[in-house]
A and B are shown apart, each in its own frame.
Chain A
Amino acid sequence: MTWLGKTLRAAGLMLLTGALLGGATGCANLGVKPWERDLLAEPGMEIDPDVVITALDEHIYFSKEASTGGLGTAGGGCGCN
């Protein structure tokens, strides 16, 4: 594994841990009031802002790599080469 891979791996685990801790430390304290959703409601702020790009990319990576999925459940298979 390259140094870049190792660094990114560490960063990723930290990100995930932080997010998990954030999720665990009392969801009730987190969040916004209904009228504070102006920024969250903007186009592009969705968790998956472009489902079409996601679908096309997942198909490409499914056929080029052995690791798949992530957002939602993995789709149906294909005989892609």
Chain B
Amino acid sequence: MKVARQRDHWQGQFKAMASPCEILVDVEQEAEARLLCEAAEAEARRIEQKFSRYRDDNVVHALNHGAGQPVTVDDETADLLDFAHRCHEISGGRFDVTSGVLRRIWKFDGSDAIPSRKQAKALLPLVGWPQIKWDRPKVTVPPGMEIDLGGLGKEYAVDRVATLLADRAVAPVLVNFGGDLRAVGRRPGNGNWQVGVELPGVVDSAGLKLDLGVGALATSGDARRFLLRDGIRYPHILNPRTAWPVMKAPRSVTVLGDTCTEAGLLATLAMLQGADAESFLADQGVKNWVIR
């Protein structure tokens, strides 16, 4: 953890969730800034460990290895599952936390390893939130299926950390985890946060210069992750109902919202609209940046 004084605030930096993480806090004392940044890092690591699908000692592992038996989950996980359920509902099934199994055949490593339609079709029975039996606080995952909360994880962590710091310490803060960010608490006298955001993987992008008071920014899409065969680009965004990439999806969508989770969800849903991403975003009335 590095804590450094900036012109009119303190900046803490660490790495978590495979991203560079930055905390800006508007307090006077270094000791206080350090305490806040350490609390932020601890919370980020807690969420990372709890919801990572690369670990075998957490709740995600437990519910994906329940052998078709109900697993009782804690309140926070239950809230996320309720949220996932609601997102599935309002997106008409486009947003689905069970689509992680498609990674078994889709590895977006820049190669031309496109799976066959038959392979994709074979996996479809293992995708679909409605097949998960969710009866709070018990969840039953049928054998072979998987729940992956990682798609929500980073934005959720940003919001959690931001509210933890701002609501409880009551200092204005900005939390930035690899470009997904949230500012909470208007800064009396000091004006807005000036933040620069690089759009991940967008070559030659000058990035965004933002003048942010309170609000959140999230980006969906990573232009470095795709497959290419016969001149056709297969973007890193999969339709859970076809097990196939959304072929006309933008390279990335960035949305300005109230919370990072909201912005991230809108960005993801816009990506899932493919060619209609821009008109979808226009309908939502949010400030956005679409890169094709």
Contacts and interface: CB of A to CB of B under 8 A. Distances in A.
Nearest to A33: B35
Contacts of B167: 37, 41
Binding site secondary structure of chain A: loop
B224 to A, nearest CB: 35
21 contacts: A33-B35, A33-B39, A34-B35, A34-B36, A34-B39, A34-B164, A34-B165, A34-B168, A34-B169, A35-B39, A35-B42, A35-B43, A35-B164, A35-B168, A37-B167, A37-B168, A37-B169, A38-B168, A40-B168, A41-B167, A41-B168
Nearest to A32: B168
A41 B167 CA distance: 8
A28 B277 CA distance: 54
Given A33-B39, A38-B168, 10 more contacts: A34-B35, A34-B39, A34-B168, A35-B39, A35-B43, A35-B164, A35-B168, A37-B167, A37-B169, A40-B168
A12 B35 CA distance: 38
Contacts of A40: 168
A40 B170 CA distance: 13
B152 to A, nearest CB: 21
Interface residues of A, number: 7
B184 to A, nearest CB: 13
A40 B168 CA distance: 9
A17 B270 CA distance: 61
Interface of A: 33-35, 37-38, 40-41
A62 B165 CA distance: 41
Interface of B: 35-36, 39, 42-43, 164-165, 167-169
Contacts, number: 21
A40 B36 CA distance: 17
A37 B43 CA distance: 13
B183 to A, nearest CB: 17
Contacts of B165: 34
A34 B173 CA distance: 13
A37 B39 CA distance: 12
Nearest to A36: B168
Nearest to B171: A34
Contacts of B168: 34-35, 37-38, 40-41
A28 to B, nearest CB: 13
Contacts of B39: 33-35
Output the residue of B42, B43, B164 with the most chain A CB within 10 A.
Answer: B164
Nearest to B40: A35
A41 B165 CA distance: 12
B66 to A, nearest CB: 29
Contacts of A35: 39, 42-43, 164, 168
